[in-house]
Amino acid sequence: MELKILGSSSNGNCYMLDNGKDCLMIECGVAFKEVQKAVNFDISRICGVIISHEHGDHAKHVQKCLDSRIPIYASHGTLDSLGVETANVPNLVRPMSELKIHQIGKFKVQPFKTQHDANEPFGFLIYHPECGKVLFATDTYYLHYTFDGLNNILIECNYRQDILDSNVESGKIHPAMRARTMKSHCSFDTCREILLANDLSKVNNIVLIHISDGNANAGEFKQGIVEATGKTVHIAERGMTIKNFNVSPF
């Protein structure tokens, strides 16, 4: 299985789990032509798109997905905020319920609640025989849950408190923005705590996603998480593909 990163920031998020046959899309916050290119214009093999919440950087192109007949999976709250008319396209709009397991093509997806300033935002536990159990958690200032037997992890590592604080002191960032960031995004320290609260013994890749442009230091974040976990750690970058996104590194 490959992980394709089409975007991973407040400018637009989209990820694909793709083995050339089965393809699950996560978020639709990048231009649809990027999605088409990522699957060599074979849109029909995208079995669905799971959307964490309604903010534009995650869901801006939802209508394009519907126009291309890609089924949309999200919470009732997210679908409601997106104004997606379930009545018009009943077979394409699929509300998800918290902690229920949803079969999407060959993938099984279990949504769980995240902590963000959105209407019923979700993170996802995704299972496929090739990539095993994958945790996807973004735009959340902490997680209520821990997970067993994870094989791959995508987790937000948005900002570091000292960098955010110094940006407020120097006037680069408004104090209200700092308050919003702290109540809606995952800091480096929280990201590290979440990772260490989970059993990482079977983890192949940790991908740090949704890193802030101004309040982060990607190189130090990667180094810090490598030191804390001893795992293979990647910084998500637009256009990047992780080829060995499998159950085991071998």
The three-point CA angle 80-82-84 to 5° equals 75
Which of residues 22 and 57 has its CB atom nearest to Zn ion in the complex? 57
Which of residues 107 and 122 has its CB atom nearest to Zn ion in the complex? 122
| Closest distance to Zn ion from the beta carbon of 9 (Å) | 8
Q: Mention every residue, 6+ apart, whose C-beta is less than 8 A from residue 130.
A: 1, 19, 246, 247
Which of residues 55 and 128 has its CB atom nearest to Zn ion in the complex? 55
Which range touches Zn ion (CB under 5 A), out of 40-48, 62-70, 136-144, 225-233? 136-144
Which range touches Zn ion (CB under 5 A), out of 85-93, 132-140, 150-158, 216-224? 132-140
3-state helix, strand, coil in the chain (%, to 5): 25, 30, 45
Which of residues 55 and 192 has its CB atom nearest to Zn ion in the complex? 55
| Closest distance to Zn ion from the beta carbon of 123 (Å) | 12
Q: Which residue of the chain is nearest Zn ion when measured via CB?
A: 55
Query: For residue 217, what are its two tokens?
Result: 């230091």
| Closest distance to Zn ion from the beta carbon of 88 (Å) | 26
Footprint of Zn ion on 19-58 (CB under 5 A): 55, 57
| Closest distance to Zn ion from the beta carbon of 110 (Å) | 21
DSSP state of 45: G
| Closest distance to Zn ion from the beta carbon of 52 (Å) | 8
Which of residues 140 and 198 has its CB atom nearest to Zn ion in the complex? 140
Neighbours of 67 (CB within 10 A): 12
DSSP string, 19-32: -SS-EEEE---S-H
Distance CA 215, CA 159 (A): 5
Determine if 120 is a binding residue for Zn ion (CB under 5 A): no
Determine if 139 is a binding residue for Zn ion (CB under 5 A): yes
Footprint of Zn ion on 53-92 (CB under 5 A): 55, 57
Distance CA 212, CA 74 (A): 24
Query: For residue 85, what are its two tokens?
Result: 């008319």
| Closest distance to Zn ion from the beta carbon of 139 (Å) | 4
Q: Which of 25, 2, 19, 52 is nearest to 205 (CA)?
A: 2
Neighbours of 9 (CB within 10 A): 17
**Binding region for Zn ion (CB under 5 A):** 55, 57, 139
